[in-house]
Structure 1
Amino acid sequence: MPQQTEQLTAAEISRLAGVTRATVSNWRRRHADFPRPSGGTESSPTYDRAEVEAWLAARGQLPEPSAKDELATELRNRQAGTPLNALYPIVIALSRMAPEAVGELAELPDAALFHELDKVAEPFAEAVPTVAEFEFGPDDAALLRKVVTCVREEGALPTVELIGGRLAPDTTVRGSYATPQPVIELMTDLLPDGVPPQVLDPACGAGGLLAAAAQRGATRLFGQDVVAERADLAAARLGVLAPDAATTIRTGDSLRDDAFPGLAVDAVLCNPPFADRSWGHDELSYDPRWVYGLPPKLESELAWVQHCLAHLKPDGIAVMLMPPGVAERPSGRRIRAELARNGAIRAVISLAPGAAPPFNVGLHLWVLRRPDPARPAADPVLFVDASQADGWDAVRAAVLDAWRSFAAAPDDFEPVPGVARTVPVLDLMRAEMDLTPVRHVRAVAPVVTPGDFAATVNRRRAELRRAAEALLASDDTDWPPAGDEPVTWRTVTVGDLLRGNALAMERAVTGSQKTGEPADGSGARVMSAQDVTNGGAPSKNQADYNFLSPVLLEEGDVLLPETIGGGVRARVVGPEEAGSMLGPHVLLFRPDPSRLDPWFLAGFLSAEENVHGAATGTSIIRIQPRRLRVPLMPLDEQRAYGRAFKRIAALRRAAEIAGRLAEETARELTTGLTAGALAPPGHDPGKPRAHAPAKRKH
């Protein structure tokens, strides 16, 4: 049977050659000797990799492959069933060696290389859960040499993650999501000062939370994951990132088959699977971990809460990322009440949608403590609503300021209006144990003096006046009529512009698995479809996606959401967004500036009649970009229209700022009146009142 050759898509050819997809399309049309399609479909053909590389090399278009590229090719060519996880102990061992020593290994002959790698990797074999006895043979010489070279030139962590991507491209579990690096850092920052020495993550995934704990000083790490490939990857990543920590990673279902029975640690960090209906309700009915009650079948998260508490020492802390429904569902009310009554719940913190997957809901952070039987639990519960904070830096500041103040003196915590408040457990019982932060934070009246509150509101009103003046100034000239009749133009489709090289079009292609955050948290920011629509800065992180075809934004690019939902707004990339990555479901148009003005292009591409004329679908309406039409006009005239569209964009931004400030001002004025901190305009506050209200307590 002939060996199947490796196939490349046009996007993969563009990455291989370091050019845009539009350039590849031009090669296909203009060069008769360009390789013919050997697979795929008519609309999405694929090409034989060897033929493509030969053609590129003959034209001098084939860049020198990197060590990472060569290892990736070697991994792709390995037969199915090759135990590539046996490479992990080798990479861990190489990460502990001096660069000069790694370089010397790469120069050894095959027999000596096998012997040395086997010797240095042996102490680390047991660290990777599913690595079995396996000896590499002469046929593996090229693979092993490329692994050593990749570690030497690219680093141990990129090598581990490249191997992991090959081993586990689709090892996902329902309700299980990767944790973005900013959320990881916030969770570890909620642990007590001086990260506790022993930390457990019973749903460790690729080990991101444990790695962050180690980087903050944890010396003993325990992790378990139900997906063997993820557990192996976690062990390898921690072997590289946390060389000074004693690490134990196991495979298996933590609820059904706990790998660490009897283990009590100082802290637990966990992002458990959400909404798992088959978590083991029936067979675990009498499990001793259910100190606070048997979790309902549809409340798997409360099983994870009690599992984490069971592994804590008295007064140990657990930080868990939870879906918002756990805080208020009636089925879990009794367990929430027992947790609160016993002092196990310390804080509930709400994040904005988009902070972590699933991105359509605002998740919660729960901070839990295992009660100490020797000390009565009388602390109130802290609630923090960070969902309205402007940017992640503001989220971190609001959460950590409130948490650290509360942790230092729970009974003396000063509420932060609209952001943070403590609630006694008895009051939570009266509120039917709804732990949703916004319910408690927004319900509290201002605790500042009326004078301070009035000063704050009046400053907000001054901001609103300035925003209103800016709104009026953004459009202070009349717009003349175009004539007695509307102007019409000859138009051309985007498809025609692409064929004429006046325009290039790109999409970000993603796979199903998250790539994982770079160890130093330096992942690029990503412009999502929502960011394009609302005009905000790129809000996602590279780690939230697995980019198979990454695209970097350039100043002057025009972005358009691929689906229609609540209106479509194009956006021109400015210098602040340049260098960010294009997110999924966003169309990128890169005009030739000598032929197309970007603001002119953005304005006409997003015209309502244009978008709907190029849309297809019923429940999900997608734009067919090649059908969009653009007027044909000279560049000078384009620029005149472009300046007009740019003014409209400025008008829209000014209106949004003024609208937000108006809403915030109206809300604060209402709160001030209903809480007794403000008096109605024209009313004399010094006039005697029928009675004085009782002093308000929080």
Structure 2
Amino acid sequence: MSIEKTLFAAADKMRGAMDAGEYKHIALGLLFLRYVSEAFTRRHDLIAEEGGDPEDRDEYLAENTFFVPPSARWSSLAAQSKDARIGVMIDDAMREIEAENPSLKGALPKVFGRESIDRAMLSGLIDLFSNLKLDGTRADFDLIGRIYEYCIGEFASSEGKRGGEFYTPKSVVDTLIEMIEPTHGRVYDPCCGTGGFFVQSEKFIDAHQGRTDDIAIYGQERNHTTFGLARMNLAIRSIFADIRWNSEGTLLRDEFPDERFDYILANPPFNISDWSGNLLREDARWRFGAPPVGNANFAWIQHIHAHLSAVGIGGVVMANGSMSSMSGGEGEIRQALVQGDAVDCMVALPGQLFYGTQIPACLWILAKDKSNGVAMNEKLRDRRGEVLFIDARKMGALVPGSRKQKELSEDEIRRIAATYHAWRGEAREGAYEDVPGFCKSATLAEIEGHNFVLTPGRYVGAGVGEEDDELFEEKFERLMGGLREQFAEGRRLEVEIESRLGSLQ
């Protein structure tokens, strides 16, 4: 068992009956405290060895290391872990660290001193994280980062649907990262959650021998506690980003209204009805048509497209309904997007990838201007008037130890991304070819023949000698999930029709 799994299993056992959503802030907060103390101690000892003043705050600022006051250091807290006031001490430590490091202001949890928090649990977590073996090298910080990331995923799994609101499964993140390849320029996530897309972007660059300082990161998050988790997650990775929060959310109060980005990666909340669409009917972002008041899906898609630079590429996770819905003018918006060459690729994902929901999802790959891209990169194929469709629904396998949760394998992610890059003319090996049952490059005329419905299954056809090897239980659950989604849409339409009829009386 890996150190991440071992540590999480031990930490999770300590939470007892406490709700996973509440406990994650305690466990992840303490893990972050262990990180900043470790980073501070390394720098502290080095300054002392070189004859400098180890208590000079500027010595830490120069090396992008957080300054930790004496009473907030891990060694001090660990020595008092059995004290009845340890929870209050930890809260005070968090406040002191924020006071010394303005970039962390408001990011750290102060929930440890509550009466409901078991002091024995806090002592146990401090002892557990104190026993985390570190070898004194830079690899220690990567280890803590991996543990933090693993814990975020496991807490999301424990929380089910609520966890899915702040965490995008790693295989979905990896698929978009491999397709979009954000290696330089400005990267943006309008609903960044815990910062998973940013962390994976940096990992992608490292894996391809790039320079992480060649990208600038921007993000926005509506949930303040999730905003704090994101800032801690990025700080552990030494990723410096402009992440902003407001209670209204990105669609209603865009923190970067005049900015344009080279890469946008996003997993917006699906099918949100209370997005204040009635207040934004004339918004300049709706170039392809005003989104329906009762569903924000096409507001997110158009927000992302509007924020792309001249040759920008965006990757968006969406509910499958976005590919075919005709309600509220969505069909017309989708048609305008296709005819405007805003859609580069559509990927149908397998079911059961997301925590706590059976709603199947897809990926929209958006392009700002295909002609600009071709003009600036002679390697690219001219794909104006075409859309690539990839049907990955039969991919994925159950996560070991899970009955419901699936994930894509590295080979499957690589195949999806390689197909997209071959289609664009960026292939490392081999030219693009349509593969029955998997991928198809469709023309505008073909898409129009399908009434601008963008479901990949309509275009790729069936594979040669293809057999239906889907388990009955999985197929039944998948079909029932789709049926429930259609029933919900039907009920929504009934309410809308009654409302409109009532206004005519």
Aligned amino acid, residue 407 of structure 1: R
User: Which residue number corresponds to residue 6 of structure 2?
Assistant: none
Q: Distance in 2 between matches of 1:390 and 1:406?
A: 23
Q: Distance in 1 between matches of 2:159 and 2:111?
A: 25
User: Which residue number corresponds to residue 96 of structure 1?
Assistant: 39
Residues 264 and 315 in structure 2, CA contact (< 8 A), matched pair in contact too:
yes
Residues 161 and 233 in structure 1, CA contact (< 8 A), matched pair in contact too:
no
- Tell me the CA shift for residue 283 of structure 1: 0.3
Say if 1:186 and 1:164 are closer, same or farther in 2 by CA, change over 3 A.
Answer: closer
User: Which residue number corresponds to residue 526 of structure 1?
Assistant: none
* Corresponding position: 1:229 with 2:217: no
Q: Distance in 1 between matches of 2:436 and 2:358?
A: 26
Of the three residues 277, 280, 286, the one matched with 2:276 is 280
What SS does the aligned partner of 2:365 have? Answer: strand
Residues 392 and 438 in structure 2, CA contact (< 8 A), matched pair in contact too:
yes
- Tell me the CA shift for residue 348 of structure 1: 0.2
- Tell me the CA shift for residue 206 of structure 1: 2.4
Residues 91 and 160 in structure 1, CA contact (< 8 A), matched pair in contact too:
no
- Tell me the CA shift for residue 98 of structure 1: 5.3
* Corresponding position: 1:257 with 2:235: no
User: Which residue number corresponds to residue 415 of structure 1?
Assistant: 434
Of the three residues 382, 386, 390, the one matched with 2:392 is 386
Q: Distance in 1 between matches of 2:27 and 2:227?
A: 14
* Corresponding position: 1:406 with 2:384: no
Q: Distance in 1 between matches of 2:151 and 2:110?
A: 22
Aligned amino acid, residue 408 of structure 1: G
User: Which residue number corresponds to residue 490 of structure 2?
Assistant: none
User: Which residue number corresponds to residue 198 of structure 2?
Assistant: 210
* Corresponding position: 1:342 with 2:347: no
TM-score for the superposition, normalised by structure 2: 0.61
Please show how residues 82-481 of structure 1 align to structure 2 within 5 Å.
Answer: 90-91=33-34, 93-94=36-37, 96-97=39-40, 104-105=75-76, 122=99, 124-127=101-104, 129=106, 149-154=127-132, 156=144, 176=165, 178-192=167-181, 195-217=183-205, 219-240=215-236, 242-252=237-247, 253-330=249-326, 331-357=329-355, 359-371=357-369, 378-389=384-395, 391=397, 392-393=408-409, 395-408=412-425, 413-442=432-461
Q: Distance in 1 between matches of 2:118 and 2:258?
A: 42
Measured against aligned partners, the alpha-carbon deviations of 1:8-47 in whole angstroms (never above 9, x if no partner) come to xxxxxxxxxxxxxxxxxxxxxxxxxxxxxxxxxxxxxxxx
User: Which residue number corresponds to residue 66 of structure 2?
Assistant: none
- Tell me the CA shift for residue 315 of structure 1: 1.4
Measured against aligned partners, the alpha-carbon deviations of 1:275-313 in whole angstroms (never above 9, x if no partner) come to 111112100111111111111224411100111122221
Q: Distance in 2 between matches of 1:302 and 1:221?
A: 24
C-alpha RMSD of matched pairs (Å)? 5.0
Identity rate, percent:
21
What SS does the aligned partner of 2:389 have? Answer: strand
Measured against aligned partners, the alpha-carbon deviations of 1:28-80 in whole angstroms (never above 9, x if no partner) come to xxxxxxxxxxxxxxxxxxxxxxxxxxxxxxxxxxxxxx98479858x99xx99
Please show how residues 540-551 of structure 1 align to structure 2 within 5 Å.
Answer: none
Aligned amino acid, residue 131 of structure 2: E
Measured against aligned partners, the alpha-carbon deviations of 1:622-679 in whole angstroms (never above 9, x if no partner) come to xxxxxxxxxxxxxxxxxxxxxxxxxxxxxxxxxxxxxxxxxxxxxxxxxxxxxxxxxx
Aligned amino acid, residue 127 of structure 1: L
Aligned amino acid, residue 153 of structure 1: N
- Tell me the CA shift for residue 255 of structure 1: 0.8
Q: Distance in 2 between matches of 1:135 and 1:279?
A: 34
Residues 271 and 322 in structure 1, CA contact (< 8 A), matched pair in contact too:
yes
Q: Distance in 2 between matches of 1:166 and 1:397?
A: 27
Of structures 1 and 2, the larger Rg is shown by: 1
Q: Distance in 1 between matches of 2:459 and 2:124?
A: 57
Q: Distance in 2 between matches of 1:143 and 1:381?
A: 54
What SS does the aligned partner of 1:216 have? Answer: helix
Aligned amino acid, residue 440 of structure 2: R
- Tell me the CA shift for residue 398 of structure 1: 3.6
Q: Distance in 2 between matches of 1:135 and 1:173?
A: 22
- Tell me the CA shift for residue 431 of structure 1: 2.5
- Tell me the CA shift for residue 214 of structure 1: 2.3
Please show how residues 639-654 of structure 1 align to structure 2 within 5 Å.
Answer: none
Q: Distance in 1 between matches of 2:75 and 2:163?
A: 45
Q: Distance in 2 between matches of 1:348 and 1:318?
A: 12
Aligned amino acid, residue 265 of structure 1: F
Q: Distance in 1 between matches of 2:94 and 2:107?
A: 19
Say if 1:214 and 1:388 are closer, same or farther in 2 by CA, change over 3 A.
Answer: same
Residues 380 and 424 in structure 1, CA contact (< 8 A), matched pair in contact too:
yes
- Tell me the CA shift for residue 260 of structure 1: 2.5
Q: Distance in 1 between matches of 2:125 and 2:356?
A: 35
Q: Distance in 2 between matches of 1:284 and 1:171?
A: 32
Say if 1:227 and 1:116 are closer, same or farther in 2 by CA, change over 3 A.
Answer: closer
Residues 176 and 274 in structure 1, CA contact (< 8 A), matched pair in contact too:
no
User: Which residue number corresponds to residue 672 of structure 1?
Assistant: none
Say if 1:365 and 1:380 are closer, same or farther in 2 by CA, change over 3 A.
Answer: same
What SS does the aligned partner of 1:381 have? Answer: strand
Measured against aligned partners, the alpha-carbon deviations of 1:355-387 in whole angstroms (never above 9, x if no partner) come to 335653432111111227857972511001111
Extract unaligned runs of 5+ from structure 1. 1-65, 447-456, 464-529, 537-563, 566-698
Say if 1:95 and 1:380 are closer, same or farther in 2 by CA, change over 3 A.
Answer: farther
Aligned amino acid, residue 187 of structure 1: L
TM-score for the superposition, normalised by structure 1: 0.46
Please show how residues 61-80 of structure 1 align to structure 2 within 5 Å.
Answer: 68=11
Measured against aligned partners, the alpha-carbon deviations of 1:76-119 in whole angstroms (never above 9, x if no partner) come to 9xx99x999986874552353457977755566799x9998776
What SS does the aligned partner of 1:223 have? Answer: strand
Say if 1:93 and 1:288 are closer, same or farther in 2 by CA, change over 3 A.
Answer: same
Q: Distance in 2 between matches of 1:84 and 1:125?
A: 23
Residues 67 and 153 in structure 1, CA contact (< 8 A), matched pair in contact too:
no
Q: Distance in 2 between matches of 1:261 and 1:204?
A: 16
User: Which residue number corresponds to residue 658 of structure 1?
Assistant: none
Residues 33 and 74 in structure 2, CA contact (< 8 A), matched pair in contact too:
no
Say if 1:118 and 1:300 are closer, same or farther in 2 by CA, change over 3 A.
Answer: closer
Higher helix share: 2
Please show how residues 597-608 of structure 1 align to structure 2 within 5 Å.
Answer: none
User: Which residue number corresponds to residue 60 of structure 2?
Assistant: none
Say if 1:120 and 1:161 are closer, same or farther in 2 by CA, change over 3 A.
Answer: farther
Q: Distance in 1 between matches of 2:99 and 2:32?
A: 7
Q: Distance in 1 between matches of 2:26 and 2:167?
A: 25
What SS does the aligned partner of 1:282 have? Answer: helix
Measured against aligned partners, the alpha-carbon deviations of 1:321-352 in whole angstroms (never above 9, x if no partner) come to 11111111123122112212222110001122
